[in-house]
Amino acid sequence: DVTVKILRGGRGAEVKIGGYIFDKDAVKNFKDLVGSDAYYRVQIKPKTKKQSSTEFPMASVKACALEMSGFLEAFTFHLDSFGNVLALDYKTPIVACGGKKPKKKVAEGIKFRSKGRIASVQEGKKPDLTKLILAEKNKAAP
């Protein structure tokens, strides 16, 4: 469980991500993911929403790439105009493992180095309805 706080203020929004630290069970599970060339998945579950888990945004990276990058991860949270997370991008600096040695092997006490940013909805240009209505009327004239 990691807490992500999205703080709104006069200068936009800020992301604070609590650092996840591997425990014994997580180490075993992560090693299994790396060994089977699988993906490490993250899912956003807001504390205030009562939704099914299939409605929460999810993203993934190759487990070996996360280990190769020394557990450095970057998130982009895509918000709607109400501040709800609609989607997220999840990346590591390394995307392919290719048999290389990781910077840090997974072990108890290893801490994720997480960064985050916000991508807010930007309102598009509004059409001039008067011009559209007049253009339609002009087309209909014989």
pLDDT at 8: 59
Both tokens of 115, joined, read 């960064």
Per-residue pLDDT band for 137 (boundaries 50, 70, 90) equals confident
Both tokens of 55, joined, read 């409605």
Q: Quick check: pTM over 0.75? A: no
**DSSP strand pairing (72-79 vs 113-120):** parallel
Task: Indicate if the pLDDT at residue 40 is higher than 90.
Answer: yes
Per-residue pLDDT band for 128 (boundaries 50, 70, 90) equals confident
Alpha-carbon span 22 to 4, nearest angstrom: 17
For residue range 19-32, list pLDDT tens digits in order.
788 889 999 999 99
